[in-house]
Structure 1
Amino acid sequence: MECRALFNFTKNKLIIFLLIFSFLPLFIMRLVVYPIAFNALRDEIIRNLRLAVNKQAELIAAWMEGRLSNARYIANNPFLIQAMQKTGNALTIEVNEYFKSICSDFGYKEIFYADRNGKILFASNKALYGENILEQDYYRRAIAGAFFVSNIQSSLELTGNVAGFQEADTPAMIMSLPVKNAPDAILGVLAVCVDVAEIDRVMKSVHFGKTGEAYLINKNGYMLTTSRFTDELLQADRIKKRASLELKIVDPYTKKPTKGALECINGGEGYDAHGYPDYRGVRVLGFWHWMPDYDWGVIAEIDVNEGYGKLYTLRDSVMFVFAFLAMGIVIVVFLLVKKVTLPYR
């Protein structure tokens, strides 16, 4: 009886030992190697998103600085200052052609000059001649001596329905500044209407992945650039024409701002490597950065399934192999123990 008990005890110990010895490498792979690989991939994805956001922010800041410098150059051009103090059809035509060439070279929508009474005297678009912009905010700010940069808005809202503006429903912004012939002598206001499509082209210069995108938002949480998923948004009736100024960055199911948008608007820089629902309701990994000089935020996101896709595939493969080997190991161990202990029965 004691021998039988000792035999069973030895057999059970042998089974446990063999099972532990067999399963140990698999447990190490799942509990140690996989987390290390996951953390390394996560850090790489966030690093790439950070680089994308920082690159976009640098490109936008450089683009904006270029437009601001260009507006200052135009306003301080001696030829323009002299022309504004004289009259004559030939001079008007010459200034207008100068404005047209600048619009063509830099992709501006319109450039125009208004005197101290708000009357437009020179413009790249002849339909603007004679229009009065005295009540427009951008004019009042500049005639008071400020260099004013508007928010990105629809041209219709931006220009206050002033006749003559083209493409009145497209996103744009206006830069306005005083034109002076002396430090304290303001002759009038120069205004440059900038097409936001230029910012879109800047944003699209950085690409990553099949689902990755970077976009610009304002302080109210609206997208300012085009979406990579415009067709999907149109089909879902989330937008009428375009994402810019129409799409609010909210979770479509909860109607609350996405984590990236909310934290970005609050003036921060950060990331989420675990995943959160984006404006499509799809879980994404994201990095965001607020640009306080312009009240804009840059967000870069990529679908979780794409970002972690290869690792998820590896995990599933490991688990399949783990389960397959586990069954085989259990059978082999029992057969081996049975064979080893058979002479002692």
Structure 2
Amino acid sequence: MKSRLKSSISDNLTISLDSTLELVRVWEDQLENIGRLMVRDSRTQEKLLALIEKSSRGRKTREELIALEELAWLRSHLGALCKQVDYVGFVVFDETGYQVGALLDGAIGGRELMKASDFFRRAMTGEVVLSLPFWAEIPLPDATGVMVERRPTMFHAFPIKDENGTNRGVLGLRLRPEVEFSKIFKGARTHQTGEAYAFDQDGVMISDTRFHGHLRTIGMIPDDMRSSSILRVGVRDPGGNLTGGYRPSTPPDQWPLTLMANSAIRGERSLNVEGYNDYRGVPVVGAWAWLPRLGFGVTKEVDYSEAYGPFLVLRDIFTGLVVGLLLFLLVSFYLILKKRKVESALDLSDHYYQAVVKQSSDPIIAIDSSGAIQNFNPAAERVFGYAAKEVVGDNVNRLMPEPHYSAGHADIQRFLGNGISNVLGVRSEVTGRHKDGGLIPLELSVSEIKVDTTQNYCAILRDISEQKKYEKELLAAKEAAEEASQVKSEFMSRMSHELRTPMNAILGFAQLMNNDPRAPLSDDHRENIEEIIKAGERLLFLINEILDLADIEAGEITLSMEAVNIRDLAQEISEFMIPVALQNSVEIINESSFDEEPIYFFADRVRLKQTLVNIIANAIKYNRENGKVWITCGARGGATGTVSIKDTGVGISPDLQKRLFKPFDRLEADQRGIEGTGIGLALSRRMIEMMEGKIYVQSEPGKGSCFTIEMQTVQPSEIEVSGVLDTGDGLVEDGKPRFTVLCVEDNPANQRLMKKVFTPENGYRLMIAHEANLGIELARAHNPNLILMDINLPGMDGVAALRELRLFRETKSIPVVAISANANEKDVDRAMIAGFKHYLRKPLQLEKLMAVVHMEFDE
């Protein structure tokens, strides 16, 4: 009887361990897929390499590294991805292990992580590495965002390779071991005492345990709800049951490793159903394995008293039988009844394990080494349509079409021959065959079950038909939502454009009537016309806002990025808004005007001005009588600056702040009798984010609000001149320029830049046109060698201008290079399809510009 129970316990421990190991593998695959998705983007690779390159030009301090534009970009993009998948953040290492960038400031500079773990060294060999948990080198945020000292951390590390495949550094994604890693082992917490956990080479637990209460009571971990067993509990035998009051005289680090840990660390996979002490000193039975590639062990354990409950009752009976031999005649009948009761309990235990298989919602099929079906549970009957008696004894190929059966059978035979398997312990998707001939998508996991000398195999399947159906429906729903969003955006754009045409006519004719000296209006009529003009201008402003919002949502808005002196712009806007403020009895105070040090934002001047006017107008509109509005500009550490608009208005409650930037949400403004559409702030935020800036608000009801815009700063010289350029080898002949360049560009700063680059001394004749029609005329008259065309021109844009150039014989073959601040791939593809030969992004990298020019000259 004990032998039967041991065999049953062995099977269950083995199945549970295999399931846990499979979960570890699936989790590792998911991590690698997520990581590769995050870093495979070419722009991300470019920024990582640029950050490492810049940091190598003389060792930089933490503050200097934080100020780098590449790190700001990575924080914005990789940081958002980390937040989506609940990672703590990322760290970028150069090839020496120096931490040149991170999402958290404290992790930048120094080599603390290289000293704490070996994942950097392994990743520099080209390996994708999952580190073991270790104590974090800096305070880390917990699940609620509170920074906590001495927390476990772990990394998933990827080598950073240059275009030649050389390892230039490492990107480490920081994980929370107490969340995802420990979650793997929670599924094995069966019955009252069953648990699974992981441990490292030193016998230190690196996942969480189910016995927090016990461990806190006996002092093995701190009495703190944030504390876990990770890195705090050694898998060592105290020599007695700590939960029963036993207290050893030696400290924990002098206790020997448990029997299980000692075996696993030697690389053995085994099990023990005879009983041994665990880290609490409680007798347990268990199965374990060592994962050499990952560098840790995994075990599944159950308290001995729970596993052998029926047998312990039987042992007590036999002990009583020996003692009771003296009273044999008096108690023999009682002992016989008791013996039957124990046998019934043992049968009940065996029936319990059978019931687990029968009541499983997933099909479970047992086969022997030849493929003959030995067991076929009710869930398998339901999925495949066969009764168990129809298939038991038949070959499993009855349930699996080719090539799935042949592959599986060959794998089993190979495993029997050399112990190597591609199927055992691996979760895979296969196709099953129903009794009616229909095909069923299934998820399959196969484990080996060895009883005495007999080798059998247990296949656990899951019908994923519904999952596949839902995946298809989800994809269709996503496509429908995207199509609906596109239709909405196109409708808003089309509607706004259609409204502008009659509105322009209304305003134009009203202005003509108001200013026509040949037919002067009476005072009453003039007052009426002025009301029409005022209302029409207001309506045109609202139409323009809707049009801008529609263009942003459709991805069609364009930006012209340049260096903008924010102090000059703030002064200009404050003077422009003073009449509006006076009408509302509000005073505008421009504090930035007293500071002469210029600050240049890298921005689209028109869109930045539109945003600031919108915010200041709101500060006036929602202010109190005799209130104030302050405008303040400043520079922050690194390459960022801010402009803030603070008011003494009604303020905004925390609940309303959550809705502040949603389109068409007016935040109860109707109740105050204030006009508006609720578009302005949503439009402002999206424009600022398109310029890679941030906008945020601080507000308290009754005390006013403060809106702050944070943008990248530049120096005008950085945009106009970029290093020493090879601008004209071989382009001067007999003292005269040989190469004519036509630049069609409306931005004065960019025109000045072109004049500095394309000089007669360097062999260039430069012509400049500020709009497309003039550019077409110059091209037809002078037949330049190359045309540099800004996409975002007033009136006719660059794409339309290119189409015009292709209509004329004298200009149709001139190479045209697109220059634009639009950075997304859709804009690039659209330009290349239109016929541009090259596409250069603003701000211009002059090395790339000159490379294109030389390429065309050589041709």
- Give the conservation status (yes or no) of the 8 Å contact 1:258–1:277: yes
Task: Give the partner amino acid of 2:231.
Answer: L
Instruction: Note the C-alpha offset of 1:317.
Output: 5.8
Q: 2: distance between equivalents of 1:156 and 1:86? A: 26
Structure 2 partner of 1:217:
199
Instruction: Note the C-alpha offset of 1:250.
Output: 1.1
- Give the conservation status (yes or no) of the 8 Å contact 2:237–2:258: yes
Task: Give the partner amino acid of 1:52.
Answer: S
Secondary structure of 2:137's aligned partner: helix
Secondary structure of 1:201's aligned partner: helix
Instruction: Note the C-alpha offset of 1:207.
Output: 2.7
Q: 2: distance between equivalents of 1:329 and 1:65? A: 62
What do the CA deviations read for 1:112-159 (whole angstroms, capped 9, x no partner)? 33456766565333554x534498355555456554443321113999
Higher relative contact order, structure no. (Cα contacts within 8 Å, ≥ 6 residues apart): 1
- Give the conservation status (yes or no) of the 8 Å contact 2:276–2:285: yes
Within the candidate set 155, 163, 187, 1:182 is matched to 163
Within the candidate set 68, 83, 99, 2:47 is matched to 83
Q: 2: distance between equivalents of 1:219 and 1:326? A: 59
Task: Give the partner amino acid of 2:91.
Answer: F
Closer/same/farther in 2, CA of residues 211 and 173 from structure 1, 3 Å limit: same
What do the CA deviations read for 1:26-60 (whole angstroms, capped 9, x no partner)? xxxxxxxxxx3x22222111211111111111111
- Give the conservation status (yes or no) of the 8 Å contact 1:84–1:187: no
Instruction: Note the C-alpha offset of 1:187.
Output: 4.8
Tell me whether 1:45 sits opposite 2:45 in the alignment. Answer: no
Q: 1: distance between equivalents of 2:164 and 2:40? A: 11
Instruction: Note the C-alpha offset of 1:226.
Output: 1.4
Instruction: Note the C-alpha offset of 1:183.
Output: 3.0
Instruction: Note the C-alpha offset of 1:92.
Output: 4.9
- Give the conservation status (yes or no) of the 8 Å contact 1:114–1:190: yes
Within the candidate set 177, 183, 201, 1:201 is matched to 183
Structure 2 partner of 1:236:
218
Tell me whether 1:251 sits opposite 2:233 in the alignment. Answer: no
TM-score calculated relative to the size of structure 2: 0.31
Instruction: Note the C-alpha offset of 1:69.
Output: 3.6
Q: 2: distance between equivalents of 1:304 and 1:135? A: 41
Within the candidate set 103, 109, 134, 1:131 is matched to 109
Q: 1: distance between equivalents of 2:89 and 2:210? A: 28
Task: Give the partner amino acid of 2:26.
Answer: A
What do the CA deviations read for 1:66-90 (whole angstroms, capped 9, x no partner)? 2234334433321202334668987
Q: Tell which deviates more after alignment, 144-153 or 300-309.
A: 144-153
Structure 2 partner of 1:327:
330
Task: Give the partner amino acid of 1:195.
Answer: R
Instruction: Note the C-alpha offset of 1:230.
Output: 1.9
Closer/same/farther in 2, CA of residues 158 and 289 from structure 1, 3 Å limit: farther
Instruction: Note the C-alpha offset of 1:319.
Output: 7.1
Closer/same/farther in 2, CA of residues 258 and 118 from structure 1, 3 Å limit: closer
- Give the conservation status (yes or no) of the 8 Å contact 1:111–1:191: yes
Task: Give the partner amino acid of 2:299.
Answer: I
Structure 1 partner of 2:89:
110
Q: 1: distance between equivalents of 2:236 and 2:17? A: 20
How many residues matched? 288
Secondary structure of 2:88's aligned partner: strand
Within the candidate set 132, 140, 148, 1:151 is matched to 132
Q: 2: distance between equivalents of 1:206 and 1:223? A: 16
Structure 2 partner of 1:341:
none
Task: Give the partner amino acid of 1:248.
Answer: G
Structure 1 partner of 2:78:
99
Task: Give the partner amino acid of 2:198.
Answer: L
Closer/same/farther in 2, CA of residues 50 and 188 from structure 1, 3 Å limit: same
Closer/same/farther in 2, CA of residues 260 and 66 from structure 1, 3 Å limit: same
Structure 2 partner of 1:5:
none
Task: Give the partner amino acid of 1:247.
Answer: V
Closer/same/farther in 2, CA of residues 124 and 118 from structure 1, 3 Å limit: same
Task: Give the partner amino acid of 1:50.
Answer: T
- Give the conservation status (yes or no) of the 8 Å contact 1:154–1:168: no
Structure 2 partner of 1:191:
172
Q: Tell which deviates more after alignment, 109-118 or 264-273.
A: 109-118
Secondary structure of 1:112's aligned partner: strand
Q: 2: distance between equivalents of 1:120 and 1:256? A: 38
- Give the conservation status (yes or no) of the 8 Å contact 1:117–1:134: no
Unaligned stretches of 5+ residues in structure 1: 1-35, 160-165, 331-345
Structure 2 partner of 1:171:
152
- Give the conservation status (yes or no) of the 8 Å contact 2:48–2:160: no
**How big is the alpha-carbon RMSD for the aligned residues of Structure 1 and Structure 2?**
3.4
Closer/same/farther in 2, CA of residues 45 and 326 from structure 1, 3 Å limit: farther
- Give the conservation status (yes or no) of the 8 Å contact 2:49–2:160: no
Larger Rg: 2
Tell me whether 1:262 sits opposite 2:241 in the alignment. Answer: no
TM-score calculated relative to the size of structure 1: 0.71
Secondary structure of 1:136's aligned partner: helix
Secondary structure of 1:182's aligned partner: coil
Task: Give the partner amino acid of 2:235.
Answer: I
Q: 2: distance between equivalents of 1:46 and 1:329? A: 35
Q: Tell which deviates more after alignment, 295-304 or 185-194.
A: 185-194
Task: Give the partner amino acid of 1:252.
Answer: P
Structure 1 partner of 2:273:
273
What do the CA deviations read for 1:221-276 (whole angstroms, capped 9, x no partner)? 11111122122122212233432111111111272111111111111111111111
Unaligned stretches of 5+ residues in structure 2: 52-66, 141-146, 241-254, 334-859
Instruction: Note the C-alpha offset of 1:218.
Output: 0.6
